[in-house]
Structure 1
Amino acid sequence: MTITTLARAPTTPRVARTNIRAPSARRASSAVARADRDGVIFALDFDGVVCDSVGESSLSAWKHGVELWPEVFDTPEATTAKPRVLEELRAVRPVVETGYENTTLARALLEKLDGYGVEDILNEWDQISGGLMQRWGLDRATMVEAFGRIRDDWIEEDFDGWLEPNALYPGVAEAVKRAQARSDAAVKIVTTKQGRFALAIMERMGGLVIPEEDMFSTTVSGIPKTDVLRTFGTEGKWRKIFVEDKLSTLEKVCKADDLNEWELYLVNWGYNTPEERARANANPRIKVIGVDAFINMLEAA
């Protein structure tokens, strides 16, 4: 699929350095209540479903690396290797759940650490990811804060430059807008990205405005997406549809008996591998969906 950058508005809004609040049953119920009874709830992942953000996240990781380890990243040798590292970060993007992981991956790939080649990362990330954090004495909370600050600084210095590597998948923003306009539908964005960044990208790159109460960011809170889904549609009877590009997230939903009412879709244009799509096709709970079917579903499900 060819990714195109959509037109931007002429102004440059500041992105508030506040985090989207953790979900609560009361807040989710009030948001859903805006739609008619017995409607449909669309819970959509952001990166890999709505937005192709790997270019920006990789460049932010490189900037973070320069700040964190200048002796490694701020050298002529590193500058020469940068195009290779950025290409390999795109290749391993299917394993990334939270942005700061790109920073540790960037260093592992830059230094060509033994056991951390592209195939090693794709096949064994769950087993080897913690080793990088321990190796360099890092903790999650500090990395999340620092990675967000790197983005904030980039936005303040060059908002258009930060937006440029982000692209909304063709047709997706328009489909979400049409779903928002339906009287029988509610659209939620459930993402591991810090909410303020996702909101800015959608508004500027696609004219897509998501109310803050419909944005659920799990990065700072650490609340799993399974728990977020539990807060939706607690009153009334709703058709519930969850769309992801990360198979492991959908498989976690499959294991939760109290989430059996959710229809699960894995997009075929996001950050997943052919092997993962084959595994999804073998799972009776999960359907692999293309962009045309996704657009039709948001308009008519």
Structure 2
Amino acid sequence: MDVSAASSTSTLFALDFDGVVCDSVGESSLSAWKHGVELWPELFECERANEKKDEVLDKLRAVRPVVETGYENTILARALLENLDGYDVESILKDWPILSETLMQKWQLDRKTMVLEFGKIRDDWIRTDFKSWLQPNALYEDVPEALRFCTERRDAKVTIVTTKQARFADAILVDMGGVKIPEEDLISTTVSGEPKADVLVRLEETFNKDGASRMIFVEDKLSTLIKVANDKRLSKWDLFFVDWGYNTEDERQVAKHDYRMKLIGKEEFCGLLREG
């Protein structure tokens, strides 16, 4: 990290990627289906699977708010394809952490292996047909322009803190938005599973040693933001919960009434990047 940048930074941004900057559910769902074909061809390559594919992809969008890391989409795809008892959309939205662990054990899956395999699915897709991989991704309207403006500000520092593997976020930002974030500022917690709270602590130590900068964390996942809000080490961060992305109306209402965070729309978010 550039220490010289720390001395001139008056605002430090830490932004989630999927659901804040990028609507990637189309691509992650299709990657999950490809991953399913590789892991369980007897389930995903049969006639019944082909008939249910569109239905499963639709449901994957509906349950997207629960996904922390890409490979979870693969587990969800199989559960939805098989119509497993207790794995309807409502149950998944309510109890996914418990349900996910149950399936990982039932199907004898390893988290690190799943992460690597899911990344390989994307790498292979990108290598063979980059344009078709990009197509199901979309940067939210007006966000790329605001991000480009912010990266050119001399008084601001933009970091991306994401569970997505950094090379995929970089490809989307550059090719779809013309936005270049330095490699060291694209921080992925995918393989390590490191809490975002720990990443924010390190960012504060690096870029706000004198305590003079404003620090802004923007997230679309309420459970993540609550953990950060309750972490005493991060009391100086301004926390924002977006009203788009992968969250529910109930979650937006919780954020709206939580004194520690603020619910914002896209216009206000872009304003923060330009002037915050």
Deviations 1:255-279 (A, max 9, x none): 1101000100011111000000011
Local SS of the residue matching 1:242: strand
Contact 1:35 1:183 in 2 (8 A): no
Residue pair 1:85, 1:110 contacting (<8 A) in 2 also: yes
**Which of the residues 172, 175, 182 maps onto 1:201?**
172
Q: Say which of 260, 267, 272 aligns to 2:247.
A: 272
Task: Provide, for residues 29-51 of structure 1, a one-character-per-residue CA deviation record: whole Å limited to 9, x for no partner.
Answer: x35x3255460001000000000
SS in 2 for 1:222: coil
C-alpha deviation, 1:126, in angstroms: 2.1
- 1:284 corresponds, among 242, 245, 259, to 259
Aligned partners of 2:166 and 2:46: how far apart in 1?
A: 33
Question: Per-residue deviation at 1:233?
Answer: 3.1
Q: Deviations over 1:147-206 (max 9, x none)?
A: 000001111110001000000001101111111111110000000000000000100011
* 1:247 maps to which of 217, 222, 229: 222
> Is contact 1:42–1:185 with CA below 8 Å preserved after alignment?
yes
Structure with greater helix percent? 2
* 1:84-103 superposed matches below 5 A: 84-103=55-74
TM alignment of 1:110-125, pairs within 5 A = 110-125=81-96
**Equivalent residue number for residue 108 of structure 2:** 137
Contact 1:35 1:184 in 2 (8 A): no
Letter paired with 1:54? V
Corresponding letter in the other structure for 1:110:
L
| Aligned equivalents of 1:127, 1:99: Cα separation in 2 | 17
| In 2, Cα distance between equivalents of 1:38 and 1:216 | 18
Q: Residue 147 of structure 1 corresponds to which residue in structure 2?
A: 118
Is the counterpart of residue 128 in structure 1 residue 102 in structure 2? Answer: no
Whole-Å Cα distance in 2 between the matches of residues 189 and 73 of structure 1?
34
SS at match of 2:204: coil
**Residue identity opposite 1:176 in structure 2:** L
SS of 1:231's partner is: helix
Structure 2 matches for 1:68-87, cutoff 5 A?
68-87=39-58
Q: How much has 1:146 moved relative to structure 2?
A: 0.3
What CA deviation, in whole Å up to 9, does each residue of 1:62-86 have, x standing for no partner? Answer: 0000000000000111001000000
> Aligned to 1:186, what secondary structure does the other structure show?
strand
Provide the rounded CA distance (Å) in 2 between the counterparts of 1:156 and 1:133: 29
- Give the counterpart letter for 1:72 in structure 2: L
User: 1:254, CA displacement in angstroms?
Assistant: 1.2
Size of the aligned set, in residue pairs, is: 272
Deviations 1:130-153 (A, max 9, x none): 011111110101100100000011
Q: C-alpha distance in 2, partners of 1:37/1:143?
A: 41
Among 38, 45, 48, the residue aligned to 1:67: 38
Q: Is the 8 A contact 2:8 2:154 kept in 1?
A: no
Could you tell me which residue of structure 1 aligns to residue 128 of structure 2?
157
Equivalent residues of 1:37, 1:236 under 8 A apart:
no
Q: Normalising by structure 1, report the TM-score.
A: 0.89
The answer to whether the aligner puts 1:190 opposite 2:161 as a matched pair is yes
Q: Give ranges in structure 2 of 5+ residues lacking alignment.
A: none
* 8 Å CA contact 2:16, 2:160 repeated in 1: yes
Counterpart AA for 1:147: F
CA distance in 1, matches of 2:275, 2:124: 41
The CA distance in 1 between the partners of 2:229 and 2:20, in whole Å, is 19
After TM superposition, give the deviation of residue 127 of structure 1 in Å. 2.1
Q: 2:138 aligns with which of 157, 167, 183?
A: 167
Identity rate, percent: 60
CA-based RMSD = 1.0
- Aligned mates of 2:250, 2:132 — CA distance in 1: 34
1:256 is aligned, of 228, 231, 238, to: 231
State the distance in 1 between where 2:181 and 2:242 align: 21
